[in-house]
Amino acid sequence: MKSVQSRGYSPTPKFLSINDKEIKELADYILEQRRVRTDRYAMVGKISRAASFVTRGSGCDIFFMVIEKLIDYIDEREALHEQFMERKIDRAILRSAVNSMKSEILAIKTRIELMENTENPFDDRKFEVPPAFHSCEKILNCFENKDHVFYQHPLITAPSLIAFSQLYASICAYGVELLPAYIEIANREKKRLREVIEAYKVNTIEERLQMIKIIQTIKLPSYDGKAKDDMVQVTNAGTFKNALSRLKKNVRNITLHEIDIVKDGFGYQSKPDELHYWDRTLWTREQKSACNHEYSLVVRTLYKDYFDQIIDAIS
C-alpha cells in the first residue's frame, strides 16, 4: 500500500486571524526589512538619502492589513477559536482593544511622517521621537499584560504583535538616528519586545497543541517504490523467472511506517473530530532527519522556528 499521509499534508504555523499565505508573507517581509535596517546603519547621519525608509519599511501598511484581518475575524458569527477550542471570545472587549491600538498606530504613523520629512527643521523632527516611543511602549504594555485580552488569545493576536514588532524596531532605528541619546531606551525596548514575543511563542504553541489529539499510533506496511512503474516491469519481464526475480526485488520496497491517527481540524482544515493519518516515517524521510517525531512535536517545532526567526530579526 502507499503511504496514508492525509492528502499529502505538510503542517505549517497557522493562526486563527490570518491565512497561511499571509503569515508567511509577514515573516518574509520582516526578514527583508531587517536587511534594509542593517544596510541603513551603514548610512548613519545620511537620513535624507533614505527618506522613504520608515513609511515603507516600518510596517505601518502591513500592520493595518493584519489589524483588518483581525477585525474581520472578530466579526465572524462562529469563530474557529470557539469551534475548535470550545472557548468563547469576548468580542466587545477584543474589538475595543483592537480599535484603541489602531488609533494609536495612526498617531504613530503621523509622527513617522513628520520625522522623515527632511523639509522640516531637524529640531522639529527630533521632537517627534519621544512621543513615538511613548505610544509604542503603551501598545507593547498591552501585549505584555497577562490580564489583557491580547495576551489571553495568542493564536488570534500573535500576528498583530509580530507586525507591531516590525513597526517598533523601525521606530527604534530611526529614533536613534535623530536622537542618539535614545540608544539605551531603544536597546531596552527591543529586549522587552523580544521577551514578549518569546512569551507569545510559548503560549501560542500551548494553545495550538490543545487542538491536537493523537488517538493512536500504529504500524502499517507501505510500498516505498514506484508501484505503477514496478508492476509494468514485472509484466514485461518476459519469463516467469524474470518476473519472480523482479517481484522479489519489489518486496524489499515494502516497509513498516509509523502512523499517528490524529484529530486536528484546524491543521487539516476539516471538522474537529475528523480523523487523519500522519505518517511519521514519510515525514522523517522527507526532512532527511534521524528523528521519528510524533505529529504534535512536529507542529511545536514549526511554530518555534517561525517565532524564533521573528525574534532574531529584532536587532
Q: What share of the chain is helix, strand, coil (3-state, %, to 5)?
A: 65, 10, 25
pLDDT at 2 exceeding the cut of 70: no
Residue-wise pLDDT tens digits, 193-231: 999 999 999 999 999 999 999 999 998 877 565 544 445
CA distance 190 to 196: 10
| pLDDT, average across residues 142-163 | 93
Nearest-angstrom CA–CA distance, 301 and 265: 19
**Residue listed under C-alpha cell 493519518:** 277
Dump pLDDT digits (tens) for 225-250: 554 444 544 455 555 455 455 555 55
Tell me if residue 272 falls in helix, strand or coil: coil
Residue type present at position 180: P
> What are residue 262's phi and psi, to 5 degrees?
-125, 140
Q: What is the mean pLDDT of the chain?
A: 79
302: pLDDT confidence band, cut at 50, 70 and 90? very high
Residue 289: Cβ-neighbour burial (10 angstroms; 0-12, 13-18, 19+): exposed
Among 7-11, 47-51, 104-108, where is mean pLDDT lowest?
A: 47-51
Question: 264 near 276, Cβ under 8 Å?
Answer: yes
Query: Which are the contacts of 200, defined by CB distance < 8 A and separation ≥ 6?
Result: 143, 151, 154, 157, 158, 161, 307
